Amino acid sequence: MERLTADSPVRALPGVGDARSAAFARMGVHTLRDLVYHLPRAYENRGRVRLLKDGLDGTPSSFLLTVATEPRSAQIRRSMSVVRFRAFDDSGSVEVVFFNQNYVCDIFHVGSCFRFYGTLRARRGTPQLVSPAYEPVLPDRPLPAFVPRYPLSENLSGRIVEKTVAAALRALLPSLQDFLPEEIRRRLGFPTLSYALLSVHAPADEQSLSRALRRLVFDELFCFSLGMGLSRSRRAGSFSFPCPPCDPAPLLQKLPYRLTRAQERVFSEIRDDMRGGDRPPMSRILVGDVGSGKTVCAALAIYCAAIAGGQSVLMVPTEILARQHFADLSPLLASLGLRTGLLLGACTKKEKERICSETAEGKLDLLIGTHALLNDKLHFPRLCLIVTDEQHRFGVRQRALLREKESAAHLLVMSATPIPRTLALTLYGDLDISRLDEMPPGRQRVDTYVVNESYRERLNRFIRRQVEEGGQVYVVCPAIEEEEERGNEPEENGEELKLDRLDLLTEREERPPLKAATVYAAQLQKEVFPDLHVDFLHGKMKSAEKEAVMQRFVEGHTDILVSTTVIEVGVNVPRASLMIVENAERFGLSQLHQLRGRVGRGTRKSYCVLVSDAHGEAARARLEVMRTTYDGYAIAERDLEQRGPGDFFSSSCDSGLRQSGGMSLHLLRLCSDTSLMESAAREARALLASDPGLQDPQHTPLRSEVDRLFRIKESTLS
């Protein structure tokens, strides 16, 4: 047989045919490497065995039981049979029941001993175990304490996934090369890669599982940081557009306000970066909470570029945002003698041609548009500065591409997600970070309330009052797509070891039914507000449609906009005064904070109402944070603590990277340990300081691991 390698397809394993390999492919598992990195999403803790007499509290538990009676099968309905037998331990006995599984009659024999795992319930006074998991207890083979539960897809049972993963491990481990430098591994006390992979699929105990996970999470963070560092060092020797430090006074004089200290600091960082010449171009991310005044920082950078004779582009994710920026910036810049253009998909061909030629002739100092700006046949003779707003739509990969295309231009990325410092260092390791950590004075606070269904009528009256007083209302529902995630939910409530923090999940949060935006909008319009203008917006609409809906809201034609989180991206509607979030328990704190930032942008007193029927304590505590905290950074820190970095990550990196399989960044989601993040970033920096391009032959395996993570071909990397 052909030798199997990490890149061999899943199919190459004995016993895996077309159907099975297709089912794995649907989960993004294509190769043996993907298989061994297909980690359990949870573990059942079957190690703590309880006595029957203690087990009636409704939590799934393990019981060591001896079979007392021969299993008896009975047909209870045409399509349903039931097998019953009794089993006992030292404390009592129980009836064990299986439905439609007659074959178990051949498994359970009087006198044999099994470990059962399930929820003990009393039926008509007798304790019962219905369809428990079971494993025979054999004298010389101890049973594992933790049983992995894998993310499944249709047509793949847990058993099959487990067996296939085990086969991949057997095939790969003997010749597996550990890419982590031995010195680092030992110093930080990590297990070997083989041990980590084995343990994560079949942990001997909680401690080895936790060590294994730490190692794998570290790997991912470390490789990611290395990739970021490599990308940074590739720029080190390059030239950039020179902008001698400019005097911002002419622009500042046009503003109706004074810069905050934070804005002044950020501007001086930017100005310093843009000095250029034989220094690498600026690569900076400007992180600032909604409303912290990022736009004027960008305007100052654009002004400096123009003074130096350079052109700027401002890229935004939607046409509405492009229009808003154009409306804000073009008069300001025009008053300084600078010309701004706006390029939209909606422009006529003639307009587009005009803008293209004006750009090519250097008549425009700033061109605003969506990312189509970069794909078009646009030619900038003196491109100096690229600004992207709401950067989460432009990921790491796009940044790399941008860099290739416009290597001398400065890059300023603006993000409205207040992201915790450690996380920012990891995710934006290729960028310098500026923070606007101070709000302009006089900002009003958006009063926040947490309510449940019983407030519905009062809430509807409140909506009406807001509209009557001239306000506009957002109602945000969780994405319709979310309902489809259910396939990955644990099938039963249980005492499980969740991957992320290795805590035992004691309280499973119950999930109230979801409100779907479209249905809810129709209902509101018909049943509650027939006389008002209700509109809806969701992610599956075509972007022209979305823009049209949003435009109607911006122009004030719509009173109530029911939407999924697509409105999150920085649209400014000064009349919007009420934000209602349905199923608020489903959202991350930072996301809720972003949503809240959509209101209170004008002079109108504004409110945010979080509606949730979840009773779980964790959900309650999370929403309570929103009610009492208004500082985006504090909220972000809490979010990181409570939910791990997944939420930030999914909104901050491009999906191409996330979905690349194998060593993609999915592990990062599982790590809420910021010290691990810090040490990965630190080790990566130290290693690159001693071997800047990872050229040392000793680091070849590491280098290929990094390259695989970024999936950028060797040629573009060096």
- Chain residues binding ligand ADP by CB under 6 A are 257, 259-260, 263, 288, 290-296, 416, 440, 570
In this complex, which beta carbon is closest to ligand ADP, that of residue 103 or of residue 257?
257
Q: Distance (Å, rounded) from C-alpha 325 to C-alpha 332?
A: 11
Minimum CB separation of residue 416 from ligand ADP in Å reads 6
In this complex, which beta carbon is closest to ligand ADP, that of residue 340 or of residue 583?
340
Give the distance from CA 166 to its chain's centroid.
29
The residue at minimum Cβ distance from ligand ADP is 293
- The answer to whether the beta carbons of residues 396 and 247 sit under 8 Å apart is no
Minimum CB separation of residue 294 from ligand ADP in Å reads 3
Question: Which residue(s) pair with 45 in the sheet?
Answer: 146
Q: Distance (Å, rounded) from C-alpha 296 to C-alpha 299?
A: 5
In this complex, which beta carbon is closest to Mg ion, that of residue 229 or of residue 570?
570
Minimum CB separation of residue 493 from Mg ion in Å reads 43
Contact partner at residue 181 from Mg ion, ligand ADP, none, CB < 5 to 8 Å by partner kind: none
In this complex, which beta carbon is closest to ligand ADP, that of residue 125 or of residue 442?
442
Minimum CB separation of residue 327 from Mg ion in Å reads 13
Contact partner at residue 296 from Mg ion, ligand ADP, none, CB < 5 to 8 Å by partner kind: ligand ADP
Query: Does residue 576 sit in helix, strand or coil?
Result: strand
- The residues of the shown chain that bind Mg ion, judged by CB under 5 A, are 570
Closest of 710, 588, 565, 711 to residue 649, by C-alpha? 588
Minimum CB separation of residue 344 from Mg ion in Å reads 18
The residue at minimum Cβ distance from Mg ion is 570
Amino acid at 658: R
Contact partner at residue 412 from Mg ion, ligand ADP, none, CB < 5 to 8 Å by partner kind: none
Q: Distance (Å, rounded) from C-alpha 250 to C-alpha 238?
A: 32
List of residues 6+ apart from 616 with CB closer than 8 A:
507, 508, 509, 510, 585
Minimum CB separation of residue 387 from ligand ADP in Å reads 11
DSSP-H helix ranges across 14-140 = 18-26, 32-36
In this complex, which beta carbon is closest to ligand ADP, that of residue 270 or of residue 290?
290
Tokens representing 604?
């109108």
List of residues 6+ apart from 42 with CB closer than 8 A:
148, 149, 490, 496, 497, 498, 499, 505
- The answer to whether the beta carbons of residues 371 and 391 sit under 8 Å apart is no
Contact partner at residue 60 from ligand ADP, Mg ion, none, CB < 5 to 8 Å by partner kind: none
In this complex, which beta carbon is closest to ligand ADP, that of residue 439 or of residue 670?
439
Minimum CB separation of residue 340 from ligand ADP in Å reads 16
In this complex, which beta carbon is closest to ligand ADP, that of residue 83 or of residue 300?
300
- The answer to whether the beta carbons of residues 313 and 359 sit under 8 Å apart is no
Where do we find the tokens 């950074």?
Answer: 633
Contact partner at residue 463 from Mg ion, ligand ADP, none, CB < 5 to 8 Å by partner kind: none
Q: Distance (Å, rounded) from C-alpha 295 to C-alpha 176?
A: 50
Q: Distance (Å, rounded) from C-alpha 501 to C-alpha 210?
A: 9
In this complex, which beta carbon is closest to ligand ADP, that of residue 389 or of residue 500?
389
Q: Distance (Å, rounded) from C-alpha 284 to C-alpha 412?
A: 5
Contact partner at residue 259 from ligand ADP, Mg ion, none, CB < 5 to 8 Å by partner kind: ligand ADP
List of residues 6+ apart from 196 with CB closer than 8 A:
190, 211, 212, 213, 215, 216
Minimum CB separation of residue 288 from ligand ADP in Å reads 5
In this complex, which beta carbon is closest to ligand ADP, that of residue 604 or of residue 643?
604
Minimum CB separation of residue 315 from ligand ADP in Å reads 14
Q: Distance (Å, rounded) from C-alpha 215 to C-alpha 197?
A: 9
Minimum CB separation of residue 435 from ligand ADP in Å reads 12
In this complex, which beta carbon is closest to ligand ADP, that of residue 86 or of residue 443?
443
Contact partner at residue 290 from ligand ADP, Mg ion, none, CB < 5 to 8 Å by partner kind: ligand ADP
Minimum CB separation of residue 576 from ligand ADP in Å reads 14
Q: Distance (Å, rounded) from C-alpha 472 to C-alpha 575?
A: 6
* DSSP class per residue in 529-563: -TTS-EEEE-TTS-HHHHHHHHHHHHTT--SEEEE
Q: Which helix (H) or strand (E) holds 405?
A: helix 396-405
In this complex, which beta carbon is closest to ligand ADP, that of residue 295 or of residue 612?
295
Query: Does residue 27 sit in helix, strand or coil?
Result: coil
Contact partner at residue 440 from ligand ADP, Mg ion, none, CB < 5 to 8 Å by partner kind: ligand ADP
Minimum CB separation of residue 476 from ligand ADP in Å reads 18
List of residues 6+ apart from 689 with CB closer than 8 A:
none
In this complex, which beta carbon is closest to ligand ADP, that of residue 271 or of residue 699?
271
- The answer to whether the beta carbons of residues 395 and 231 sit under 8 Å apart is no
Contact partner at residue 450 from Mg ion, ligand ADP, none, CB < 5 to 8 Å by partner kind: none
